[in-house]
Amino acid sequence: MVRKIGARMGLRFLLPALEVVVKETGGHPALIRTLGDLVDQRVPTSGRYSASVDVAVVQNELPRFSTAVDEDMRELVEAASDIDPGASEYLVSLAHRTPWAGEPSRARLIDALVSYGILHPDSQEFRIGRLATWLRENHAAPVRVAHG
């Protein structure tokens, strides 16, 4: 889809650039469009039909993408918390790669986050890379408390 739309605008997305787009957006159409629009704005119209979009072009737009989707990331976390009150804490722990100290019924929570499209169905990895980054940037790493 990205290649087809990009081709209509005279942009040829190279495979490694597409991989970054998918990693950051999780394939979410609205997020892809936002990132694609930012890339489109940076490529001069005069050289369009010979322009290749490589990893560097996409990565250079990630800071602007981050700003553009800030509210979307906040809404995803709020929606996850509506599904399960412990979801926000779990996602922050997962983003920081720290053990989660929440309730033991984690399987139910993970199933809900997978069905909502936040986590990959085959792993506990974030489907939307930008969400994991947003959580690390906006929420401190959980502190483990020693009991004993």
Mean pLDDT check: name the lowest of 7-21, 58-72, 96-110.
Answer: 96-110
Position 73 scores a pLDDT of: 96
Q: What is the pLDDT of residue 96?
A: 94
Say yes or no to pLDDT of 146 above 70.
no
Q: Which of 38, 30, 83 is nearest to 58 (CA)?
A: 38
- Tell which wins on pLDDT, 37 or 143: 37
Rounded Cα distance, 137 and 139, in Å? 6
Rounded CA gap, 109 and 44, in Å?
46
DSSP secondary structure string for all residues of the chain: -HHHHHHHTTEEE-HHHHHHHHHHHTT-HHHHHHHHHHHHHHS-GGGGGGEEE-HHHHHHHHHHHHHHTHHHHHHHHHHHHHH-TTHHHHHHHHHHT----S-S-HHHHHHHHHHTTSB-TTSSSBSSHHHHHHHHHHSPPPPP----
Residue-wise pLDDT for 88-130, tens only, equals 999 999 999 988 776 656 788 888 899 888 999 988 899 999 9
Dmax over Cα atoms in the chain, in whole Å?
68
Question: What is d(CA 99, CA 89) in angstroms, rounded to the nearest whole number?
Answer: 11
The pair of structure tokens assigned to 36 is 């694609």
pTM for the model:
0.85
Helix (H, G, I), strand (E, B), or coil: what is residue 119? Answer: strand
* Portion of the chain with pLDDT greater than 70, in percent: 90
Q: Hey, is 51 helix, strand or coil?
A: strand
